[in-house]
Amino acid sequence: MSERPVFRPRSDKPKVVITDYDFENVAVETEILEAAGAEVIALQSKCEEDLFHVAPDCAAMINQYARIGSKTISRMQKCEVIARYGVGVDIVDVETATKNGILVTNVQDYCTEEVADHAVALWLTLARKLPEYDRATHAGIWKWQSGQPVYRLRGRTMGIVSLGKIGQAIVSRAHAFGVKVIAYDPYLAVEKAVKLDVELVSKDDLLARSDYILMQAPMTPETHHFLSDAEFSAMKPGAILVNTGRGPTIDNKALYQALTKGHLAAAGLDDPEEEPAKRSNWSPKDNPIFTLPNVLVTPHAAYYSEESIHAARVTAATQVAKVLTGQEPDYTVNAKALAKT
């Protein structure tokens, strides 16, 4: 999205509910939506029941982490669009929305560079043993052996799970370090992989051959616990795992066992399995991986830069404003399904 569209304000002041947000305020969204004649209601919902009282009168909902499920959607009487502050829509019941004639939109192409950079940063940090060296030097230990063993990157094998836009951006960065890149993605054409200089392999082959595994899988029923006990046992001893995809794609209990038994060397996670941002009460004590020195965890921050978060907010609000004023939105999730109903 390059230029902000012009809206003809609606006179009926449709209500737009922002279910939750973790930025300072909703001024960015309010400016766009009020230009379309809308009234903005900002909440901090952590459970679906928090939305029941606003669902009947809302013309639109925008959500970040709060789930908009069938119980909320069934209460909607005026809703025209549900917009997600991101790519994934697993926290929106798209099927029920479609049955009720509600368009679902998302935000695409806003954080590809950030997530790819973050994934590579986690990989390099773990491969070069930077946390170990940092802890040692702060403790007064000035020896290169404090991080031993560290292996040369060039010539080793990186396996990437899911070669969408972000996965492909990781590939271009990884090649600069001289690693061989293989990938598992049953939906990618072989011709595309050839152009990327990536060898497409089976899941079993990727697990057996990879020195580094970078997960970028979306959250679907098929990818839940994509990596669990059997998969960790099949990995090369000393492998490093990085996940900048969705937290629940990795079974954290199984990961804990693989790390404590020494089969895996280290892991870098942008979100643990429980996805703390979606919980009203959370503590690192809930997940034993936070006790391990060879695990780096970032707070679902891979997508973040000042530029990307601003783009996500502008784009999500603009999709709603376009729908409410009769314009074609840029990023739709269920438009084709709605056309068939």
pLDDT of residue 122: 98
Structure tokens at 184: 């598992």
* pLDDT higher than 70, residue 1: no
| Interatomic CA distance for residues 208 and 191, integer angstroms | 24
Q: Where are the domains of the chain?
A: 15-110+305-340, 112-297
Catalytic (active site) residue 53: no
Residues 6 or more apart whose Cβ sits within 8 Å of residue 310? 28
Catalytic (active site) residue 275: yes
Place of tokens 């795992």: 241
List the catalytic residue out of 118, 209, 246, 313.
246
pLDDT tens digits for 311-336? 999 999 999 999 999 999 999 999 99
Q: At what angle do helices 130-138 and 112-127 cross, to 10 degrees?
A: 60
pLDDT tens digits for 228-244? 999 999 999 999 999 99
The 8-class DSSP code of residue 133 comes to: H
The 8-class DSSP code of residue 146 comes to: G
pLDDT tens digits for 12-36? 999 999 999 999 999 999 999 999 9
* pLDDT higher than 60, residue 2: no
Overall size of the chain counted in residues: 341
List the catalytic residue out of 118, 209, 300, 313.
300
Q: E strand or H helix at 324, and its extent?
A: helix 306-324
Supply the CATH classification number for the domain 112-297.
Answer: 3.40.50.720
Catalytic (active site) residue 246: yes
| Interatomic CA distance for residues 178 and 171, integer angstroms | 11
Supply the CATH classification number for the domain 15-110+305-340.
Answer: 3.40.50.720
| Interatomic CA distance for residues 36 and 34, integer angstroms | 5
Q: How confident is the model at residue 64 (pLDDT cuts 50, 70, 90)?
A: very high
* pLDDT higher than 90, residue 7: yes
Region 65-69 average pLDDT: 96
Q: Tell me, yes or no, if the two domains 15-110+305-340 and 112-297 fold the same way.
A: yes
pLDDT of residue 280: 79
Q: What is the pTM of this model?
A: 0.92
pLDDT tens digits for 257-275? 999 999 999 999 999 999 9
332 alpha-carbon distance from chain centroid? 18
What whole-number percentage of the chain has pLDDT above 70?
Answer: 99
